[in-house]
Amino acid sequence: MPFHLDMKSIWPVLLVLLLLAAPAAVQAQFTYATNSGVIILTGYNGAAGTVVISNFVNVITNYVFDNRSSLINLTIPKSVTSLGNLEFFNCQNLASVTICGGVTNMGEYAFGNCTSLTNATISNGVTFLGGNVFDNCTNLGGVTIPASVTTIGPNAFEGCAGLGSVTICGVTNMGEYAFDNCASLTNVTISNGVTSIGSYAFSGCSSLPGITIPGSVANIGEFAFFGCSSLTNATLASGVPGVGAYAFYECASLAGVTIPASVASIGSYAFYECTNLAGVTIPGGVTNLGSYAFADCFGLDDVTIPASVATIGQAAFAYCTNLAGVYFTGNAPGVATNVFLSDNNATAYYLPGATGWGVFATDTGLSPVLWNPAIQTGAGSFGVQANYFGFNVTNTANLTVVVEVCTNLAGQVWVPLTTNTLVNGVFFFSEPLKASPSGRFYRLGWH
């Protein structure tokens, strides 16, 4: 009869042999269990400053090392695939930890409140960082999240006040409050592939000077950058579909923001109290401006509303006290109450042929006037010169202008030459020509 080994039944025997082979001190410090061949570390009663976990352990269960103030250094071997919840919670003297490549899952609060932890090395292979995994690790200085990590749980690094930089490589989902109140965070790199930035993800990161959001992000949660008081610029890459409600709420230093054509909506309070925001270009894909979207933006002096905008929410530009010009490139949109409340210096401009301005005037209290950009084709440095032909278009305020060229007025075949969005009221169009512009005719249109 052939001899056959049942590995499930032999694992407990092997575990006993391993324990017998281990030094007596090790046996006294650790307790183990098995489950379907998986060796589980279930208890620890030692007090050593440095702990080395044996390389036959597969799982460390919940609470094994929590509240061990004597633990200073820790190495977790490759054989371990999972760290339980609250595993090293409140190990307040733990200074460093190396998590080798076998771990795929780090449970909730695994290193929460390890206030002396200055360095955490997360090897490639970890796929999940549980909620609050490094919560309140106030001395953690920097962390690289490997490409294997797909999910950062809620509050994962909340209150890591010493965290200076973070690189996020392969994550698709970033939970709410993930980096909340990381007050020293000055550099964040978010790679393309992240699809969701949770609510309050970077709120209270008061030292963060700038952020670039990749085009893969389909959702920017509420208050994602709330109170990032040092944030001066924000760039949303092409592909981002919208700016979420409260996304940049009270980012008082925000002076410039790049909003791509892929954005269809700007949520309520999205830029509320961004008091240094001086200019913003709303792209032609936006259909809705939410309530209070730009309210209390005291520095905003002009804004262009593209023809795509169908509705403007309540108090969207309320208390923008320096707002002088609101330039509409299409018909009057539907407006809620108090859209321009206390904007006593604002004038609304519309283009010839646009409709709906009587109702607009009644609903907003502004009396729209016809928008007539002045076109200068000569004098000074403009007009025909040095093989260039230029236009100086003033009083434009971010108007998108198309220049077309024609070589035969009888045939009236106009060919687009260039499209430019005018900034700060003046722009110089040019076309490199041969010896002269003779026989070439130009016209300008705007939308």
User: Residue ranges of the domains in the chain?
Assistant: 1-126, 374-446
Q: Are 57 and 78 in contact (CB under 8 A)?
A: no
Residue by residue, pLDDT tens for the chain (447 residues) are: 444 444 444 444 444 444 434 444 444 488 899 999 899 998 888 766 788 888 889 998 888 888 877 788 887 888 998 888 888 898 888 888 877 778 888 989 999 999 999 888 888 888 999 999 999 999 998 787 888 999 999 999 999 999 999 988 889 989 999 999 999 999 999 989 899 999 999 999 999 999 999 999 998 999 999 999 999 999 999 999 999 999 999 999 999 899 999 999 999 999 999 999 987 889 889 999 999 999 999 999 889 898 999 999 999 999 999 999 898 989 999 999 999 999 999 999 888 788 999 999 999 999 998 876 555 555 555 444 454 555 666 655 566 778 788 877 777 788 887 777 765 555 556 665 544 555 677 777 766
Q: Which residues contact 13 (CB under 8 A, 6 or more apart)?
A: none
One-letter identity of residue 12: P
Give kind and range of the element (H or E) at residue 358: helix 357-364
CATH topology of domain 1-126: 3.80.10
Sheet containing 311-312: order of strands: 242-243, 265-266, 288-289, 311-312, 334-335
Q: What is the pTM of this model?
A: 0.77
**pLDDT of res. 392:** 63
Q: Are 208 and 231 in contact (CB under 8 A)?
A: yes
Measured between alpha carbons, how far is 128 from 171 in angstroms, rounded to an integer?
Answer: 9
Give kind and range of the element (H or E) at residue 98: strand 96-99
Computed on alpha carbons and rounded to an integer, the radius of gyration of the chain in Å comes to 31
Residues in the chain: 447
